[in-house]
Amino acid sequence: MERTFIILKPDAVQRGLVGEIIQRFERRGLKIVGMRFMQVDEALARRHYAVHESRPFFAGLIQYITSAPVVTMVVEGTNAIAVVRNTVGATKPAEAAPGTIRADFGLEIGRNLVHASDGPETAATEIALWFGEDLVNWPRAADPWIFE
């Protein structure tokens, strides 16, 4: 069982796609163990995207992620990290597979709607950064019908 971290970015919130996007993760069978609606400040944005600090798009990325509220989530499930990345789609919406969130709702890389951890180490780091210990362990009634 894995956990991964997701952000519904400001464009998802401003466009009224929060319910639609969360529904895709829920329907997939992923269990929500953390969720928050928040305004991201610059310091947190810079820590989260520290790996991209030297990139030309960094300033725009910080501006984007702090420009309106976001929804942050931690979800749990079998192979959750890869499953969520696949559900989200490729970074460039134009190259994302049809049926993925970024393909179905996006056009441009700088407005690609969702962040998702890209591996076990980033998932652990990002969950600690954004949620700390503030997660809920709960037995879901449907678990035996989703996890064999």
Residue 120 CA from chain centroid, whole number: 14
**Contacts (CB under 6 A) with ligand IDP, residues 89-128:** 91, 109-110, 112, 115, 118
Query: Where along the sequence are the contacts to Mg ion (CB under 5 A)?
Result: 118
- By CB neighbour count within 10 A (0-12 exposed, 13-18 middle, 19+ buried), where does 25 fall? buried
Helix, strand or coil, per DSSP, at residue 58: helix
* Residue 20 binds ligand IDP, judged by CB under 6 A: no
Alpha helices in 99-140 (DSSP H): 101-105, 120-131
Nearest-approach distance from CB 68 to ligand IDP, in angstroms = 14
Asked if residue 77 lies in contact with residue 23, where contact means CB atoms within 8 angstroms, the answer is no
Residue nearest to Mg ion (CB): 118
Specify the residue, 18 or 109, whose C-beta has the smaller distance to ligand IDP: 109
Site string for ligand IDP, 63-92 (x = CB under 6 A): ----------------------------x-
Active site residue 48: no
